[in-house]
Structure 1
């Protein structure tokens, strides 16, 4: 099961739409809660800070271990010459704003064996935790987020435990501002992972959704556009999947040839909204008959902020 959600406002316009971006994503997830009640997460894209500044978020423990883990994060960042200019302890996460002009993959390698980094970017901020979206949203201030776009996910655990680090979304380890959510299963996960690792890519989990993010980031690092990477993913990734990817200014999707994992979209001149089921989109426009469509098998698509 599991459910995905995505929302992008074109040109930043929100005519006749009175929800914040965070509230809308949360409503889509809540409407499809029967698909994944174990954990929830959001990849939200805030306005970038000044040049040379990154947002980094980590998972940290509750209780006595928390202070020690945050101190370890401080030491790692200092060793990599990443200067903390602001910090925030929120739920099971610890977020920092840093001045950093070095290589993100180098920073990731320095941190990956000691702490749990869950997002990096000029705009990207991933929030995820065990629990249901309506309970987690106020804890993390999700409804206050009103940026131009974001993606979200609820999970039904089938192959791994229920923990914050197994929740979606996943970022592209070592790359800024790339995140994915996914419904389905990749059957060539280990083949593709080993292939990417031989080319210098890093992984922080054994979740196949992380593979999608890293694959797309690698393809773009080799000169492909995001649209090109979405297209080749249909050839290179085996299994049943419907996934969403977000970057600092776009949302894309891809759907495998079997189309066993549902995805429904609504689009007008102002916005694109995506849900695993139509009931999620109906939550955004109560009482309206929406002209929704379901992407065909073996297709991909991309929507960008103008």
Structure 2
């Protein structure tokens, strides 16, 4: 009874200790901490967008088209960040645009990571001919410029936000396949995997229970970086008219709608661009911190 109690106590204290160790390594990178807090702020804005936005993002105020921000001559407190060409409040559209961008990032990462991890595990445990076939297919996908391939896929599927997410997930998937396969190949020769095989563990148990948990650290880092890539690619497709369609308040679509007003209404182009810049930069900084904290080789002595 005493031994069992001591084991439970040691397990309970080990988990917070592991988190403290991770946070200690992560917080050494100040840029990563700033990126993390900015990411949390954007996440909260996305979740509570209907409560934070002063107006509906598609509501038009025809008497206030291209109204400048409050700090510029002619601006009013009614529209703090101004309005666009049809009188829609820029602040409301930017806030709701955060929701679309985070939705794109989550869906793309889940689709790409799920398919990539499964294919990577199969390639790592499969016979050589199947491994070679999977990896050569991934090499073919990687041989195309990512945005060009996404454009071709969206052109085939049809312009929409859903099809853009599917196309971006397909483009990002090879990175997960290669990363997972490399991690599996390095883990397969270790003693604990050999012991599980000797103990009679089946192939699926070895793949998903024994090996996969020990391959998650680089995959988590890749997921963070893919999140920012997904937001950026979705904005690029929206700017080209192949992603979200008007009047959806997606940041790339907002940039596309504002192209002709660059010279006389700078805010309709600058503000969505700044939102994309800050979000992608924050997630990339956070991804660098995750890499430093999760990779033992990069931890500072």
Give the TM bin, normalised by the shorter chain.
Answer: under 0.3
Instruction: Flag the structure with higher strand content.
Output: 1
**What TM-score do you get using the length of structure 2 for normalisation?**
0.26
Structure number with the higher helix fraction is 2
Greater C-alpha Rg = 2
Q: TM-score, normalised by structure 1?
A: 0.26
